Structure 1
Amino acid sequence: MTDHSLIIGLESRLLNAWPSFDYQAYDGWILRLANGYSKRANSATPFLPGATLDDGLIDYMIARFVEANVRPTFRLNGVEAPEADERLRLRGFKEIEPTHVLTAPVKSGDREIDPEVALEPHASKRWVRAAAESYGGDKADDETLMRIVSRIRQKAAFATLSLDDKPVAWGLGVAERGYIGLYDIVVAPDLRGIGLGRRVVSSLMAWGAAQGAHTAYLQVREENEIARSLYGAFGFQTAYRYTHRVMPGRSSASA
């Protein structure tokens, strides 16, 4: 049985930890826009159990996406009424990028912050530039990433792991009401697979414990078996799954 209270609680923390630039509320749905940087910040997500969609509401939200030059995207977390997904499917919205939200217990004293992992309470231009560059692709836009992370109002830790004084891995932890959210865990492309990401995660979980967190959470794509294996070693398990319904044949450039 779907635990709507758990989902909404984690979704609320995600909304605060990864801020958008524009928020609009429509009958149990929150539409978020952030210049197209990441789907979680540029999609319509249900926040009310049984939230429904009719064609008029879909059309109205599509228009809001198009005005913002963002591909119309509905992020379905299981809170919505089942017919909402079916209606989007019938309208031709394609299902892409199923994602798992994972949680793990955080126990004070279990971990220590790695001495080679520096934690800063605010984002620096250096952190943003390096993290965006290591991500590459659509997430290489360091200007938009800076705008997003600069809007975080919760306690945050921007982690940088350095080897021989050279930054090689990054991550973000955001603490809120007993939870530590892990975001943007990324390793320099030529150094992946040797445990650097594990050190960043461990340090952020230790920091979260010091902030009073009892649970850590993160999102990982279903197809990313390497990351899921990494997080599984930390005790992370799937709390719920979400997927995206995107309007076909319309890129952000053509929108």
Structure 2
Amino acid sequence: MATTGAELLMQAISPHGNLPLVRRLEAVGFRAWPAASVVYDGSWQVRLTGGHPSKRLNCLVPLDPSDHRDVDLRIEKARKRFEHYGRPLLVRETPLSPKPLLDRLAGQGWRPFETVNVMVADLAGLELPDTLGHLPSHDIGRYIDASLAVHGEDASLKPALAEILSAIKPVSGLFIAENPGEGPVAVALCVQDADLAGILSFAVAADRRRQGAGTEMLTAALRWARISGARTAWLQVHDDNVAALSLYGRFGFRQAYQYRYWRQETGV
């Protein structure tokens, strides 16, 4: 029997149901934002993407609290793989990470430097309009141009983003809000994976924030996800993004867990 959105929300605030929820959200997150290269060392997932610097696409992710054998050897093996891609090794800590590994990293001069909240909301309980304010686009090139403009990112990332978006296997909707003569105002990627829908790359142009564009865009994406059969929405947001956390809270999103990135401090 499928888990309802309300039941997942209860798991998010229940320590007894946390790890199964983390495992499920990690799995759908990997499918929603796929790395170009994924290899496993035991239960440790090594994710690398040469053309895009996203930390989610370039990190080591341990996925079993009991898998902490040969830590030093496996860290060095992962480091060499990252060096081959010209990237520094980053470790992504979730509630699934083995504590002995984290203790070892701390003892070797590694430090956490960024914390992200993973949040969920029950779509069935949301009050959403009957009609879609924005229809999803299937034009990847147009969406990428809009996304790069809204995020203020370099156009050189366009080929890598095209590769990432083309590699997404679940059903996805590319949402773009535009004003004639003004260019893109807001963008969002919604990826529906069975009964779960992820909101990714959501952003509002800097000069259009706090004017309702974000609420309008998020409403459209969530409405589309519910029409498409999703019961629960999930997203990721930096823990210091006060404006985004306030917006998501109004839509009923609650924290399921946090993850952190670790890097080794230079000179240690």
Length-normalised TM-score, structure 1: 0.90
Which residue matches 2:21? 6
Inter-partner Cα distance in structure 1 for 2:48 and 2:36: 6
1:104 aligns with 2:121: yes
Higher helix share: 2
1:87 and 2:108 matched: no
User: Is residue 84 of structure 2 the alignment partner of residue 73 of structure 1?
Assistant: no
CA distance in 2, matches of 1:60, 1:101: 29
- Matched-pair contact (CA < 8 Å) for 2:60–2:91: yes
Cross-structure match for 1:253? none
Aligned length: 249
Does residue 1:22 correspond to 2:25, yes or no? no
Is 2:249 the partner of 1:206? no
Equivalent-residue separation in structure 1 for 2:151 and 2:109 (angstroms)? 30
Question: Which one-letter code corresponds to 2:253 in the other structure?
Answer: F
Structure 1 pair 91–109 and aligned structure 2 pair: CA distance change class (3 A):
closer
State the shift of 1:137 in Å. 4.9
Shift of 1:198: 1.4
Residue ranges of structure 1 left out of the alignment (5+ in a row): 251-255
Could you tell me how far apart the structure 2 residues matched to 1:225 and 1:140 are? Answer: 30
Q: Counterparts in 2 of 1:143-154, with a 5 A limit?
A: 143-154=159-170
Letter paired with 1:160? I
Equivalent of 2:257, from 240, 245, 255?
Answer: 240
Correspondence 1:215 to 2:252: no
Deviations 1:159-181 (A, max 9, x none): 01123474311000000121000
Greater shift after overlay, 132-141 or 39-48? 132-141
CA RMSD of aligned residues (A): 2.1
- Whether contact under 8 Å (2:192, 2:225) holds in the other structure is yes
Q: C-alpha separation between the residues in 2 aligned to 1:56 and 1:93?
A: 16
> 5+ residue gaps in structure 2?
1-14
Q: 1:141 aligns with which of 124, 145, 157?
A: 157
Q: What's the CA shift for 1:46?
A: 2.0
AA matched with 1:154: P
8 A contact 1:117–1:162 mirrored in 2: no
Change (3 A) 1:113 1:140: farther
Q: CA deviation at 1:146?
A: 1.6
Deviations 1:8-37 (A, max 9, x none): 100000000001100010121111111243
Q: Distance in 2 between matches of 1:163 and 1:7?
A: 39
Secondary structure of the 2:252 match is coil
Question: Distance between the aligned counterparts of 2:246 and 2:143, measured in 1?
Answer: 26
Identity percentage over the alignment? 27
Partner residue in 1 for 2:47: 32
Q: Cα 1:109–1:87, aligned 2, differ >3 Å: closer, same or farther? A: closer
Matched AA of 1:237 = R
State the AA in 1 paired with 2:220.
Answer: S
> Match of 2:55, as an amino acid?
K
The one-character-per-residue Cα deviations of 1:87-133 (angstroms, maximum 9, x if unpaired) are 1112222211101000000018832376542312x352121022123
